[in-house]
Amino acid sequence: MYNLQEISDRLEIQDILMSYCEAIDTRKWDLLDKIFTDNAIIDFTEAGGIQGNLKEIKLYLQRALKPFSSMQHMMGLPKIEVSGLTAQSKTMLFNPMVIERNNNPHTFFVGLWYSDKLIKIDGSWKIASRYESLSYFHNVPEDFVPITS
């Protein structure tokens, strides 16, 4: 049975994970500063992106997601393991993404997993590292070329 601190930690981590989705989908890149540590390493390479620190990732996301008129990061329930001031989580993600093709919206789908390492700093949880593992792409336009740098 979880004690109150463990329950609180898990809920706070879930909020951080969901805040990431909100920051990305609303394109509020500076919100990522509240979600990740200053020295976080984020690895999107398996899905065709880059690996970098938070500053590099924020610039990359602005460029890479610009062509999309809409997206919706939908997370499954995370598997969270807390050990004192550190934690690990693994979360399933389903992400429909809309891009214009021939003056029509075209939706394709991305399925992946986020594997995160988190740390509690001054009473707040932050993601210290994120690894994105690809499960699938579906309905990607033939002419779509992702931004990889």
Is 114 within the bounds of a domain?
A: yes
Is 14 within the bounds of a domain?
A: yes
CA dihedral 77, 127, 23, 115 (to 10 degrees): -40
Q: Residue 112: beta bridge partners?
A: 93, 134
Q: Could you tell me the CATH number of the domain that includes residue 73? A: 3.10.450.50
Closest CA to 106 of 114, 96, 115: 96
Q: What is the pLDDT of residues 41-56, one digit of tens each?
A: 999 999 999 999 999 9
Predicted confidence at residue 148, as pLDDT, reads 77
Is 69 within the bounds of a domain?
A: yes
Domain total of the chain: 1
CA dist 130 and 133 (Å) reads 10
Is 90 within the bounds of a domain?
A: yes
Contact partners, residue 115, CB within 8 Å, separation at least 6: 88, 89, 90, 130, 131, 132, 133
Is 145 within the bounds of a domain?
A: no
Q: Are 99 and 65 in contact (CB under 8 A)?
A: no
Is 149 within the bounds of a domain?
A: no
CA dist 130 and 73 (Å) reads 15
Q: What is the pLDDT of residues 54-71, one digit of tens each?
A: 999 999 999 999 999 999
How does the average pLDDT of the chain come out, rounded?
A: 96
State whether residue 39 is helix, strand or coil: strand
Q: What is the pLDDT of residues 105-124, one digit of tens each?
A: 999 999 999 999 999 999 99
Q: What percent of the chain shows pLDDT beyond 90?
A: 94
Is 143 within the bounds of a domain?
A: no
Range(s) of the domain holding residue 109? 4-138
Is 147 within the bounds of a domain?
A: no
Closest CA to 35 of 14, 17, 50, 51: 17
